[in-house]
């Protein structure tokens, strides 16, 4: 491992990664939203994805409360910009296939927090955390962009499915976001996976 790399041209970093046969040597460059700078997020998304109206559904009752302009404008835990009366309302779930936003008026700890993260599309970058074992392994993990790691147990539940059982409550478990898995000391990154329902 070579750090820091901030003073190296990207071409040199790519060449070194290729020579070391790193799995991300040919990965596309990041085009993440952090590169927007002063551009308004909603304007950027609207320009690139457009609008697609869909229902806003109350999670507890299944009642339609209104319409949104596209699920991509909303994040789990979001409160502002929903245009609903009788609030506060919070986005608690999204069905991206059907373009449905689910909200809850009572975004208490039972909805805002959870301890189980289901993962798909795991990408292991530094070996098999199970070695010879089949059962759960102790890990540290980060959910979304949280600054601190949490302790949990990591279990393979299917061919392409994994589960993290956290030792503490995890806020805003959001399908489509990433969880990053580390060894029990938090020193070695095993890889990451996409959070699913």
pLDDT tops 80 at residue 64: yes
In a domain, residue 94? The reply is yes
- Closest by CA to 193, choosing from 158, 141, 136, is 141
163 strand-pairing partners: 118, 155
Residue 128 maps to which CATH number?
A: 2.40.30.10
Q: Tell me: the pLDDT tens digits for 68-82?
A: 999 999 887 788 889
Residues 117 and 187 in one domain: yes
Q: Tell me: the pLDDT tens digits for 164-190?
A: 999 998 887 777 778 999 999 998 999
In a domain, residue 84? The reply is yes
In a domain, residue 35? The reply is no
Residues 151 and 87 in one domain: no
Rounded to two decimals, what is the model's pTM?
0.56
How many domains does the chain fold into?
Answer: 2
pLDDT tops 70 at residue 133: no
Give alpha helix (H) positions in the chain: 10-19, 41-49, 109-112
Residues 136 and 191 in one domain: yes
- Closest by CA to 116, choosing from 156, 76, 169, is 169
Domain boundaries, position 134:
113-196
């Amino acid at each position: 491992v070579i750090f820091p790399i901030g003073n190296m041209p990207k071409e040199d970093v790519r060449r070194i990664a290729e020579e070391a046969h790193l799995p991300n040597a040919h990965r596309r460059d990041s085009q993440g939203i952090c590169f927007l700078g002063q551009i308004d997020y909603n304007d950027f998304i609207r320009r690139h994805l457009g609008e697609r109206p869909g229902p806003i559904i109350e999670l507890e009752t299944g009642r339609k409360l209104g319409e949104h302009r596209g699920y991509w404008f909303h994040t789990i835990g979001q409160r502002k910009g929903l245009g609903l009366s009788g609030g506060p309302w919070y986005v608690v779930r999204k069905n991206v296939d059907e373009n449905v936003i689910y909200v809850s008026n009572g975004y208490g700890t039972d909805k805002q927090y959870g301890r189980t993260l289901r993962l798909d599309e795991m990408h292991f970058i530094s070996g098999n955390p199970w070695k010879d074992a089949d059962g759960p392994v102790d890990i540290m993990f980060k959910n979304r962009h949280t600054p601190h790691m949490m302790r949990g147990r990591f279990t393979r539940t299917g061919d392409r499915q994994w589960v993290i059982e956290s030792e503490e409550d995890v806020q805003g478990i959001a399908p489509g976001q990433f969880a990053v898995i580390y060894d029990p000391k938090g020193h070695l990154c095993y890889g990451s996976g996409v959070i699913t329902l």
